[in-house]
Amino acid sequence: MTQDPQWKQRLAPAQYHVTREGGTEPPFSGEHLHNKAAGGYHCICCDSPLFDARHKYDSGSGWPSFWQTIDPAAVTETSDHSHGMQRVEVRCARCDAHLGHLFDDGPPPTGLRYCINSLSLNFHPDPSAGD
């Protein structure tokens, strides 16, 4: 992960911890967990589009969950063997920010659950959706 002084200046301490140090926010604490507005979720570090709100669902896990990315090339997936578990880590393909983890217990049509930290996301509302 890129731990550059530039990121410390641009990000809040909690955002830095999650995105640049691979941390996680406490479950059920993220600002985007219950967001149901139309729009897109972008990387908090580089503003790269990552997820569409139409692919978001309530997994009950405590983190925003998506059943697919906006584009398969938007994220990278790597093996994560930390904390005595075998998981798939999800990172922003553009800036290498840690976003969260990928699990295979999601809903159809993909069966995937991208379990993503709110602190790694910036929500862009869809202006055409109205209120």
Provide the annotated active-site residues.
Answer: 115
Q: Are 7 and 85 in contact (CB under 8 A)?
A: no
Per the structure block, which two tokens stand in for 53? 């709100």
What is d(CA 58, CA 3) in angstroms, rounded to the nearest whole number? Answer: 32
| Phi then psi dihedrals of residue 79, to 5 deg | -70, 140
The tally of CA atoms less than 13 A away on the side-chain side of residue 27 is: 7
